[in-house]
C-alpha cells in the first residue's frame, strides 16, 4: 500500500504592526496585576497597603523614620499611610525629564533602591515596582511630601497624573503621606480587612525594635505597636498559651535574628521574614536553620535522625537581613539567595551546640520524640494511600464527582463554588444561578458551580487523621471538587474556584451542617479561611409579596417594615428545596446576596473551633460558660 503524506501547514496569517502592542507607563501593571502583586484577589488587594508601608519601613531601616501611621476608612475603602522621614524629592530628574516624585510613582523599575547612595542597609523593596503597583491599581492615589520645609502634592487616577507636582496647604511638618483607594475595576467588591492589616502591622513593629507603628480604623481609638525586644517579644505573645519544653533560644546577628522553641504541639510552625517583608513560603534562610537542626541533633544522638521528625513541635521565627535579596516573584513570598543557606546554617549550628550542651534533658526529649514520630510513619503511608487520586486538574472530565455541577467555560478566577445540602436544594440552586460575560467574548457563561451533600457531613474534629476523613464519600467528593488535594498534598494554586459559599437551610439541621463544614475547612483547609475565600450565605426565612413588590427578610416584622405595612402575603421558607429559582437567585447574585466572610479574629481561633466540635464535652462547656 502506498503511503500518503499529510500536510500540517497552518493557515497563512499576515503579521503586521497592528499585531504588536506597546504598553506605556503602568498599563502593563493594570493588564497583568498578578505579575506585580501576586493576584487580583484578597491577597493582592492588601498587598497594595503593604507596598505603601514598605517604603516608610525602608526609611526606618536606614535610620530616617521613627513613626509610621496607618489609618483605614472602611466605609470608603480608603487607606492613609504617613511617616516622619526625609520626604520625596520633587525636582526635575535629569534622566526622565519629569519630577522625581512623579517618576517614583509612575516609572517602572526606577528609584533610589537601585543605587548605593540613598539606602545603606538591607531594605524591603529592591525591584523599584512596589509603590508604582499601588499607584497603578488605585482608583485614586494622592501623595503629600515635605521638602525644604515646603509641602508638595500630586494626584494620580489609575496611575495617570491628574496634575503636575504643586505646592500644598496641608499641615505636614515632615515626611510623606499617601492616601489611596484600590480600584474596583481590578478588585471588584473586595473590602479592607482591618484584622489582617492590624496583624501585619503588629508583626512589623516586632521586626523593627524601636519603631512606633500606629493603627487606626475609622474613628476608633488609635493602637500603638512598639517592641524593644523584637522577635523575642513576638514569640512570647504567640506562644503564651502553649506548653513550652524550654526557654526560647534567642539569637541576634547582623545577618539574621532567630527565636526557636520546642513545645507540645503537632508539626512545625515557622514565621519568616526578609528585611521586614513576610516570606510565607519561607526559603533559603529557613532552610539554613532546618539544616542546622538536623546536623547538630544527629551529632548529639550519634546517628542520623530525619530532620522533619526532629522539627516536630518546633516553633521558629527567622528574620534575615539581606542587602541584595532575590525573591520568587514581586510578591516576595520566598527567599531564593542560595548563599544564605550555608551562612545561616553555620551560625545556627554554633548556637544549637551551645544550647544542647547546657540542656541535655531537653535534647534527649526532642530526640526521643523524633524516634516516636518515625515509628508512626506506617500510619502516615496508610493515610497517603487514602488520599491518593484526590488531586484533580481543572475540568478533568470523569474525575470530578458526579454530584458537582461544573462550569467548564469559566476560568478558575471567575468560578464560585456553592456547597448545598441535598439534591432537591441543589436543583433549585442550579436553576437560580446567574451568568456572566466570558472574558474577551460577548458570550455569557455560568460561573457558579454547585456541589450537593447527602446527609450530614462527618465531624472531622472527632476523627484522628486523614484516613478516617477520606473514607467519608462526602469529604472525598469535596476534595476532588476543590482540586487542591488535602493534607501534605494540599496546593492552593490548584484551587478550581475562587470563592466558596456554604448555603444551607436556616434551621437547626442546616446550622449543624454548616458547622460541620466549617470544622472541615478549619482542620484540613485553613488556608481558605486565611485568604478570605470562605463565605456563609445568609438565606432569608420570610418573603413578602404584594401586587407590585417582592421582598425578603429574617422576620415578619422586617417584611412589614420593608413594605411599610402594606397588605401583603407573607411566606416562610421551610428549606432551600421549597424555594423557587426566582427567590433563590437573590442569594446567589453578587449584587443582592447577603454573605458573611469567615476570618480568624484571634491567633487561637482555629484551635477553638476544633476543640468546640471535638469529643471532649468539658471543653465545650468551658467555652460556652456552662456551670453545672
Three-class DSSP labels, 17-29: HHHCCCCCCCHHH
* Cβ density class 373-401: b for 16+ within 10 Å, e for less: beeeeeeeeebeebbeebbbeeeeeeebb
Handedness of CA 479, 382, 611, 247 (dihedral sign): negative
Would you state the pLDDT for residue 628? 43
Q: Taking the CA atoms of the chain, what radius of gyration do you get in angstroms? A: 28
Would you state the pLDDT for residue 171? 81
Would you state the pLDDT for residue 398? 45
Would you state the pLDDT for residue 464? 65
Strands 150-157 and 160-161, sheet pairing: antiparallel
Would you state the pLDDT for residue 273? 92
Measure CA 62 to chain center: 29
- SS3 of residue 177 by DSSP: strand
Low-confidence ranges of the chain (pLDDT < 50): 1-23, 112-122, 124-128, 391-398, 626-628
Would you state the pLDDT for residue 619? 62
Edge-first strand order for the sheet with 277-278 is 249-252, 256-262, 314-320, 269-274, 277-278
Local structure of residue 459 (DSSP, 8 states): -
Whole-Å CA distances, 257 to 118, 307, 497: 25, 21, 39
Grid cell locating 260: 526557636
- Quote the CA–CA distance of 342 and 85 in Å, as a whole number: 36
- SS3 of residue 156 by DSSP: strand
Would you state the pLDDT for residue 244? 94
Cβ atoms of residues 297 and 363 within 8 Å: yes
Would you state the pLDDT for residue 4? 42
pTM above 0.75, yes or no: no
Question: In sequence order, what are the beta bridge partners of 70?
Answer: 81, 215
Would you state the pLDDT for residue 18? 44
Would you state the pLDDT for residue 258? 95
**Helix (H), strand (E) counts: the chain:** 22, 25
Would you state the pLDDT for residue 176? 94
Domains, in order of start, for the chain: 27-225 (3.30.565.10), 231-375 (3.30.230.10), 387-624 (3.40.50.670)
Handedness of CA 554, 557, 558, 563 (dihedral sign): positive
Edge-first strand order for the sheet with 595-597 is 404-405, 448-453, 416-421, 499-503, 534-537, 595-597
Would you state the pLDDT for residue 117? 43
Edge-first strand order for the sheet with 550-553 is 550-553, 542-545, 569-572
Q: Three-class SS string for 260-324?
A: EEEECCCCCEEEEEECCEECCCCEHHHHHHHHHHHHHHHHHHCCCCCHHHHCCCEEEEEEECCCC
Would you state the pLDDT for residue 263? 93
pLDDT in tens, 224-283: 999 889 999 999 988 998 999 999 999 998 889 999 999 988 889 999 999 888 888 899
Amino acid at each position: 500500500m502506498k503511503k500518503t503524506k499529510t500536510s500540517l501547514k497552518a493557515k497563512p496569517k499576515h503579521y503586521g504592526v497592528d499585531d504588536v502592542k506597546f504598553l506605556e507607563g503602568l498599563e502593563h501593571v493594570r493588564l497583568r496585576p498578578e505579575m506585580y502583586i501576586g493576584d487580583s484577589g484578597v491577597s493582592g488587594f492588601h498587598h497594595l497597603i503593604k507596598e505603601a508601608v514598605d517604603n516608610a519601613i525602608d526609611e526606618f531601616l536606614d535610620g530616617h523614620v521613627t513613626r509610621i501611621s496607618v489609618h483605614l476608612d472602611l466605609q470608603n475603602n480608603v487607606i492613609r499611610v504617613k511617616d516622619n522621614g526625609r520626604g520625596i524629592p520633587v525636582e526635575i530628574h535629569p534622566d526622565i525629564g519629569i519630577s522625581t516624585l512623579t517618576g517614583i510613582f509612575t516609572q517602572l523599575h526606577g528609584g533610589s533602591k537601585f543605587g548605593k547612595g540613598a539606602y545603606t542597609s538591607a531594605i524591603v523593596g529592591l525591584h523599584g515596582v512596589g509603590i508604582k503597583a499601588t499607584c497603578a491599581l488605585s482608583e485614586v492615589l494622592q501623595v503629600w511630601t515635605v521638602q525644604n520645609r515646603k509641602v508638595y502634592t500630586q494626584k494620580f487616577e489609575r496611575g495617570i497624573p491628574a496634575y503636575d507636582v504643586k505646592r500644598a496647604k496641608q499641615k505636614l511638618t515632615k515626611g510623606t503621606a499617601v492616601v489611596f483607594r484600590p480600584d474596583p475595576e481590578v478588585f471588584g467588591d473586595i473590602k479592607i480587612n482591618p484584622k489582617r492589616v492590624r496583624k501585619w502591622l503588629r508583626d512589623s513593629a516586632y521586626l523593627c525594635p524601636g519603631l512606633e507603628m500606629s493603627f487606626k480604623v475609622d474613628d476608633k481609638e488609635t493602637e500603638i505597636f512598639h517592641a524593644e525586644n523584637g522577635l523575642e517579644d513576638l514569640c512570647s505573645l504567640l506562644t503564651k498559651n502553649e506548653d513550652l519544653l524550654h526557654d526560647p533560644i534567642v539569637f541576634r546577628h547582623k545577618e539574621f535574628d532567630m527565636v526557636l522553641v520546642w513545645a507540645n504541639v503537632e508539626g512545625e510552625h515557622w514565621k519568616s521574614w526578609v528585611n521586614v517583608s513576610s516570606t510565607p513560603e519561607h526559603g533559603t534562610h529557613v532552610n539554613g536553620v532546618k539544616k542546622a537542626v538536623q546536623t547538630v541533633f544527629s551529632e548529639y544522638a550519634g546517628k542520623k535522625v530525619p530532620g522533619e521528625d526532629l522539627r516536630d513541635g518546633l516553633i521558629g521565627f527567622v528574620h534575615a537581613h539581606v542587602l541584595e535579596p532575590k525573591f520568587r516573584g514581586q510578591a516576595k513570598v520566598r527567599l531564593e539567595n542560595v548563599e544564605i543557606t550555608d551562612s545561616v546554617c553555620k551560625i545556627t549550628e554554633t548556637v544549637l551546640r551551645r544550647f544542647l550542651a547546657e540542656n541535655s534533658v531537653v535534647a534527649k526529649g526532642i530526640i526521643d520524640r523524633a524516634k516516636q514520630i518515625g515509628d508512626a510513619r506506617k500510619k502516615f503511608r496508610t493515610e497517603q494511600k487514602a488520599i491518593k487520586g484526590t488531586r484533580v486538574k481543572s475540568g478533568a472530565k470523569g474525575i470530578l464527582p458526579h454530584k458537582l455541577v461544573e462550569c467548564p467555560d469559566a476560568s478558575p478566577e471567575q468560578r464560585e463554588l456553592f456547597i448545598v445540602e441535598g439534591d432537591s436544594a441543589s436543583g433549585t440552586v442550579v436553576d437560580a444561578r446567574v451568568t456572566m460575560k466570558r472574558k474577551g467574548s460577548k458570550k455569557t457563561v455560568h460561573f457558579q458551580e454547585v456541589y450537593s451533600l447527602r446527609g450530614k457531613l462527618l465531624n472531622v474534629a472527632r476523627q484522628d487523621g486523614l484516613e478516617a476523613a477520606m473514607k467519608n464519600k462526602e469529604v472525598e467528593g469535596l476534595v476532588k471538587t476543590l482540586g487542591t488535594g488535602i493534607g501534605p498534598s494540599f496546593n492552593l494554586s490548584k484551587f478550581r474556584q475562587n470563592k466558596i459559599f456554604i448555603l444551607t437551610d436556616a434551621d437547626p439541621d442546616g446550622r449543624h451542617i454548616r458547622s460541620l463544614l466549617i470544622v472541615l475547612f478549619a482542620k484540613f483547609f485553613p488556608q481558605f479561611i486565611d485568604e478570605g475565600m470562605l463565605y456563609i450565605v445568609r438565606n432569608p426565612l420570610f418573603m413578602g409579596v404584594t401586587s407590585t413588590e417582592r421582598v425578603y427578610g429574617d422576620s415578619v416584622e422586617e417584611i412589614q417594615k420593608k413594605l411599610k405595612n402594606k397588605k401583603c402575603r407573607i411566606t416562610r421558607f421551610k428549606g432551600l428545596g421549597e424555594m423557587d429559582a426566582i427567590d433563590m437567585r437573590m442569594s446567589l447574585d453578587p449584587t443582592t446576596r447577603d454573605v458573611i466572610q469567615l476570618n480568624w479574629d484571634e491567633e487561637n481561633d482555629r484551635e477553638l473551633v476544633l476543640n468546640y466540635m471535638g469529643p471532649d464535652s468539658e471543653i465545650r462547656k468551658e467555652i460556652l460558660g456552662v456551670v453545672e
